[in-house]
Amino acid sequence: MRTFEELIAEAEAVSVAGWDFSWMDGRATEERPSWGYQRLLGERLARVSAALDVQTGGGEVLAGAGSFPPVMAATESWAPNVARATKLLHPLGAVVVADPDEPPLPFADEAFDLVSSRHPVRAYWTEIARVLRPGGTYFAQHVGPASGFELVEYFLGPQPGARKARRPEDESAAARAAGLEVVDLRSERLRMEFFDVGAVVYFLRKVIWMVPGFTVGAYRERLRELDALIRADGSFVAHSARFLIEARKS
């Protein structure tokens, strides 16, 4: 394995734009949920006439879901991802709208048959209900509670309050409060494994909410300790949490 300094320098230099984690191939692994979100999304896109993908990231998941309906829109807040998603999705027939991850959504009432999202920072259920047509559905894969918290707490220490956030039962209650009927709710906890400290640095630079304000400079000594741990144990193991939710507007 390369030296600590070499791994750190490489991971600091690489671009973290988009939502493609292929740079980590061979350096980290994460189990995928059994339900196959992208495939299920593709099945739903094929049955509707107008769809919206919220917080689309670089558009990679949506682009791989299959053929789009006649009206396909996506929103994204981070400028590098807006550019990346536009380049990827426009040729496929989707319009990408730069929009902050806060309400209101820049669309009229009852504009879509389907609203989707993969790993939204937050679901604004009232807005989702507003832009759905009667009979329309919200279909998404959310990050669940304490996802990757072995890694989070390695850097930040115990986070008992944060461990209680993003619970599927809370999200489904919020969906019902907005007037939606939850028709499917599934959750899984999945193994993550990091095989070098560079993979950890890349991950935390990309998934910026895991360790807010993360920089190599701020955590260099802790990273050096983690590098030694990975070299001794072979990897650093954490667990992600994911849940699938589908909610219908009557």
Strand order of the β-sheet with 71-76 is 28-30, 180-194, 236-249, 132-143, 112-118, 50-53, 71-76, 95-98
Q: What is the pLDDT of residue 1?
A: 79
Q: Domain holding 198: CATH number?
A: 3.40.50.150
| Of 238, 223, 237, 234, nearest in space to 1 by CA | 234
DSSP helix/strand/coil, 45: helix
What pLDDT does residue 20 have? 84
Q: Which residue from 74, 73, 86 is spatially nearest to 18, judged by alpha carbons? A: 86
Tokens of 118: 């993969």
Number of other residues whose CB lies within 10 A of the CB of residue 99: 18
Q: What is the full per-residue pLDDT of the chain (250 aa) written as tens digits?
A: 799 999 999 999 999 987 789 999 999 999 999 999 999 999 999 999 999 999 999 999 999 999 999 999 999 998 989 999 999 999 999 999 999 999 999 999 999 999 999 999 999 999 999 999 999 999 999 999 999 999 999 999 999 999 999 999 999 999 999 999 999 999 999 999 999 999 999 999 999 999 999 999 999 999 999 999 999 999 999 999 999 999 999 9
* Lookup result for tokens 């009232």: 126
CA distance 218 to 23: 23
pLDDT of amino acid 17: 83
- Tell me the pairing of strands 71-76 and 50-53: parallel
| pLDDT computed for residue 221 by the predictor | 98
Rounded-to-integer distance, Cα 61 and Cα 139, Å: 13
**Hunting for tokens 């299959």 — which residue is that?**
66
What is the C-alpha to C-alpha distance for residues 114 and 136, in angstroms, rounded to an integer?
A: 6
- pLDDT score at 187: 98
* Cα–Cα distance for residue pair 162/174, rounded to 1 Å: 18
- The per-residue DSSP string of 142-181 comes to EE-TTTTHHHHHHHH---TTGGGSS-HHHHHHHHHHTTEE
pLDDT attached to residue 62: 98
Q: What's the structural domain count of the chain?
A: 1
Task: Give me the pLDDT at residue 19, please.
Answer: 77
Determine the Cα–Cα distance for residues 209 and 202; give it in Å rounded to an integer: 13
Neighbouring-strand partners of residue 239:
191
* Sign (positive or negative) of CA dihedral 50, 52, 56, 58: positive
Q: Which domain holds residue 21?
A: 4-249
Task: Report the distance separating Cα 155 and Cα 132, nearest Å.
Answer: 40
